[in-house]
Amino acid sequence: MREPMAQKVPIRITVNDVVHARGVEPRLLLADFLRHELELTGTHVGCEHGVCGACTVLVDGATARSCLTFAAQLDGARVTTVEGLVRDGEPQPIQDAFHEHHALQCGYCTPGFLVTVYELLAENPAPTEREVREALAGNLCRCTGYVNIVKAVLDAAGRLRAAGLRPAIR
């Protein structure tokens, strides 16, 4: 019989600007912590082995696979999920571009793509198509063939530049 997993690790974690102090099992994945403990179900789990990118979130401003990250690792960290990328009433040029270019179908991979695009455009405001494709190569989409996703990202970059904005990473 294996060891019971009762020993919980205390963590203090900021998710989308809200501080949570919780005790978590050492093996609890960040994805499951977000989805099932905080009920932030916008982060999706597609493969549980770090390939598909659907579970991508920002940890201290950098993309991370929440299916390969333990919640217990993140004491003191700031995490941003798809729910935290925009706030009601604020402009959302990346999401608008996805909508207007029909860059999503079933929407399951979309949160992971949006998070990845935030990081890309925060670091590189004027990517080439090649750079967009390389930045998104770790996110799988089975519906769109990526054609409209690439168009949307290039358009979003243009909109952000025109407005003098960079994606805000919380």
Partner 1 sequence: MNVGRGVLRFEDDKLLKGRGVFTDDLHLSGLVHLGFVRSPHAHARLRAIRTDRAKALPGVLAVFTGRDLESLCKPIRVEILFPNYKAPARPVVAVDAVKFVGDAVAVVVAESRYVAEDAADLVEVDYEPLPAVVDVEAALNASAPLAHPELGDNVFFKGEFTAGDVEGAFASADLVLEETFRSARVAGVPLEPRGCVAALDPGRGTLTFWSSTQIPHMLRTALADLVVVPGLSESRIRVITPEVGGGFGTKAHVYPEEVVTAALAFKLGRPVKWVQDRREELLTDIHARDHVYEVQAAVTREGVLKGVRVRILTNAGAFPSYPFGCTLEPTGGARMLPGPYRIRDYAYECYAITTNTCPAGAYRGVAQPTAFMAIEGMMDRIGRALGIDPAEVRLRNLIGPEEMPYVNVVGVRYDTGSYIASLRRALELSRYDDVRARQPSTRLEDGKYRGIGICCFTEVSGTGAPGFRARGLTRVPGFDSALLKVEPTGTVTCVLSTAGAGQGHETTFSQLIADELGVPMKDVTVLEGDTLGGPYGSGTFASRSVVTGGGAIVRAAARLREKIARIAGHLLEAAPADIVLEAGHAFVRGMPSRRVTVRAIAENAYSMTAKGLPEGEGYGLETTDYYDPPLVTMANATHVVAVAVDARTGRIEIERYVVVHDCGRVINPMIVEGQVHGGTAQGIGEAVLEAIVYGEDGQCQTATLMDYLLPTTMDVPSMIVDHIESPSIDAAGGFKGVGEGGVIGAVPAVTNAVADALAGLGVNVNRIPLTPDRVLALIERGASRAGA
- Residues in the site for partner 1, rule: CB under 8 A? 1-2, 4-5, 25, 27-28, 35-36, 39-49, 51-52, 54, 81-83, 86, 92, 95, 98-100, 102, 104-111, 114, 132-134, 136-150
Nearer to partner 1, 76 or 115 (CB): 115
Residues 54 and 60: their CA atoms lie apart, in Å, by 18
Q: How far apart are CA 35 and CA 44, in angstroms?
A: 8
Here the tokens at position 27 are: 């093996």
Nearer to partner 1 by C-beta: 123 or 134? Answer: 134
Distance of closest approach, residue 64 Cβ to partner 1, in angstroms: 17
Write down the least CB distance from residue 107 to partner 1, Å: 3
CB of 102 to partner 1, least distance (A): 5
**φ/ψ (deg, to 5) at 70:** -90, 140
Torsion angle of C-alpha atoms 138, 140, 146, 151, degrees rounded to 10 = -50
The residue with tokens 């960040």 is: 30
> From the CB of 122, what's the least distance to partner 1, in Å?
18
